[in-house]
Structure 1
Amino acid sequence: MISKALERREKLRLELIKAAERMIAERGLAGLKTRDLAREIGCANGAVYNLVADVDELVLRVGSRTLHRLDEALSAAERAGEPSPQEILVRTAIAYCDFAAENLELWRALFEHRMAADKVLPDWSVNDQLQLFRHIYQPLARLFPERGQGELSITARSLFSAVHGMVALGLEQKLVAVPLPALRKEIAGLVRAMLDGLAAHGA
């Protein structure tokens, strides 16, 4: 009896997360309303908080689903062509750009969401985020085997920040917007230039 109740609760919880995902995709993070979600999944507004602790957890759960899909897209890009670490990094950077363009509001929500200063990100959410850095870290480790883990971690974050910045500005729906084919080309050029610079600096 208890297991059936838990099963029903888990099913409703997944429906809530999926409904929140659809709502963010359509309206953006600011458009997420628990009252609308409750109506969509057929429960009382207050019952939403029997399924998740608060809106922060709900947004993080949606973010976790987004990050897992991004992980799959980056993994597919790694396998899709030449196995050299340089080209893997170029392909994953372009795949990141394409994923952001195709999932714009969900991707934005990953970076727009802010928790209260006294709240700590749960371990599962931190792990979801850190897992993605292997797509940058591992090819860099092959390119620069003489570098230590700490140095490679900083380089991986710097490379991500550069690509992310280009994507964020390039997809901005204002004066700085860049056509997607041109943005892909610029990102590929940036990654190659950064890797060439790192190699020259190391030499």
Structure 2
Amino acid sequence: MHDNEAQNIIKGDEELIQAILAGNGEGYADIVERYQTGLFRTAYYYTQNVEDARDLTQDIFIKAYNNLTVFRQGSAFSTWLYRIAVNHCLDWCRKKKPQYVEASCFDNLCTEEDSPEDLFLQQEIASEVQTAVASLPPIYSTVLILYYFQDFSPQQIAEITDTPKRTVETRLFRGRKMLREKLHSMSSGGEGHDLLSKPG
């Protein structure tokens, strides 16, 4: 995400939030419209189920709305919102998938880089990537989701997950390596290891 574009979004979010806090509840519909696709997709990577992802997305928006008064004006709303989303999805994983989540998975999450969304333009690739990402421990799947598919920078991910940037970068590196290995083993053509190469 380019700096100018990010600054415009931050400014737009701040204006909407100020209006909502001033009593214009209809402004939240614009917030929902702006973020619902990204939040749904994030939730789906965790749940691998459309209905569960829809429920989580709705819960996230409700929780964010109910906590708008504690949002710190001047900071990035998207970072604050995705922190709520990640925590809510991890809570869901802990409750619904105990065999998949260990206590250590909730210590210091992280990630980095831009998002090669062209991976998801082809349905067959999308299915493989989603399955592979979902099979990783949450500390790695979270950073990969935020970095590749939500276009957050390592610094933004560090803020979302309340984790040192260096830790984010380390987990992104390890998570990418694990994902390449899984994609390689899933790819009949043996090309899965190249799927996460960043465009020049």
**Which entry has the higher C-alpha Rg, 1 or 2?**
1
TM-score over 0.5 for the pair: no
Q: TM-score, normalised by structure 2?
A: 0.30
What's the TM-score once normalised by structure 1's chain length? 0.30
